[in-house]
Structure 1
Amino acid sequence: MAQGRLRCGCSHRKTTLLVCSINIVIALYVLRFLYSSLYIYTGNVSRNIVNYTPDQIRKMEESIRIRRAFEPLKLVKLVKELEEELSRGEVVVELSRPLKQKITDEILERLRSLDAGANVTEQREAVERWRREKLEVAKQLTFERGTLNSTIPHEEGGMLVRALESDWALLSEEIGLWMAAEVINKEHDDKPEGEEELEDQILPGRPIPPECHAELHADYSGAAVRWGLTHHKESAADCCQACLDHAKLAKPGEKRCNIWVYCPSETGCHSPDIYEHKHQECWLKYAEKPKLNFKDKYTESYRNSHPTAPLVVPWVSGVVSS
């Protein structure tokens, strides 16, 4: 019986020692794992650290010093002072309701005193005169207390001066004073300086018949059958009639007039030839296929090579059936 108890006690101690040994082994294994992880982490951190040389550190300190030296301290100070001044100037002047009503009544009374047909400009001038007069009264009330018999309280005199001067637009909006801007229709001349306009020219003399096919500001080329230097007509219609008559009276084999060119300008007409073409010249020409020399305006390149040429072609021409 005693031996059985002894064996049982020995077995219990062995089991306890075995369990403790296993726990110690596990604890040592865990400690070893934690230590190895810490070693790896510290190794990585040490590898990521940048080591600067003394020369690099000196250059960085010098850069910081230069940057601080060039900071616009005066400009920053001025900006802050300006912001403070603007913030002080943004104080809104608030007049009392009775004073606003009084201002409105006085402006309406001034507008009613105008003529019934007063335009917007006259109304604006009347309101501006009232504003200047009221501003003068308010200034005197502010600086000469007790010397004026005014219905405006002295305490509100300074605010009224401010409202009528710098805050007049805001005050006008608050009291509902709105006046439409006067629209002035002014003809705008966008024609370049020195440039002549192509207008419907009124030719002197009798009307030109439809069969003349007259073209203003046109100069046709062709062989001259009658020189205009010595052939003058009173009107373009007469010049066209001369061309029609020439075509009827031409002999067989002769060139029949089918183009007429007339100079209606009293100052003469320009041409690139050597002659001076005068008023009422009538040129009679022939061309199998009539072709324009110039139409409406002379080109810029042409005027550059012919400085005396005008901008607009002065001739009147027409092509008729021969």
Structure 2
Amino acid sequence: MARAEWANYHNNSSSGIYNNGRGKLCSYKRSTLVVCSINIVVALFVLHSLYTSLYRYPYNDSTNAFRYTSDQISKMKESIRIRKESEPTELIKLVEELKKEFLREERVVEVPLSLKQKIADELLLRLRAVNASGNSTVQRAEAVEGWRKEKLREVRLLTSGKPANSTFLPEEAGVLVRALGSGWAEFSEEIGLWIPLQIIHEEHDDKPEGVDDLDREILPGRQLPPECHAELHTDYDGAAVKWGLTNPKESAYDCCMACLDQAKMAKPNEKKCNIWVYCPSETGCYSPDIYEHKNQECWLKYAEQPKLNFKDIYPDSYRSSHRNVPVTVAWVAGVVSV
């Protein structure tokens, strides 16, 4: 009895659990179907909105587009006609022709080496004829320019098929038209033709008459006392008591004072300075030795009989036999009594 009741209870319980689980499974399927259906409806709605927007806006624009009146259209046509008539058609045509000509010249074959040598030989003959009669740079430049114009006329006649008494062949004429014309500057460099510009140097003497520049110069520094016996543009010879290369002074006054001080302080067996030579020029002073004499050099010298090296200007004979000699003596010197 008890066993039969237990079996019946067990069967009823299992059947209830099964039915309960099946009910839950059915509810999950319904929920999934509902969610998927909603997603599909939303997606369809979005696609429908995009599709309708593509065709709705152009239609609205076309219906709302501005329409010009016939009077406005005629005015626009008139303005377009006036603008076209005001265009510089002749200038545009000329520019196009120039572009075509430049392109045609760029396509010209380079001048052969043999033809370059031929032109160089002819130019040398023309220049030798000029050098025989004169050595002016202007004459040489005019001779070359005359030869160029003459040959350019000849090659242009050859290219046009007209007879010409030319040293060049007809097949060479096409190459030479540009070389001797617009490309002459580059071609002259290629053949090594170079004529330097003539430099004309003219001296303009605008000082008043009777004024000597050498006597009007003012030395920097303190004024030299009479005992210094200063002489502008003067260079004295003598044995060096103090080398100027290692004895710079601020002014000619200081150099003279150094000479006087050395003569006073010299020992009995030492040479006493009786000549001072100073370089006041900022660019240095010339001297016929191996040294480069700079500004503020102060040479202290001694000589029993002071002797001039140079005075005022260097002689032409000396300047012609020596290099880099200036015209004017830049030194200032004096002979003092000791």
TM-score normalised by the shorter chain: which range applies? 0.3 to 0.5
Of Structure 1 and Structure 2, which has the larger fraction of its residues in helix? 2
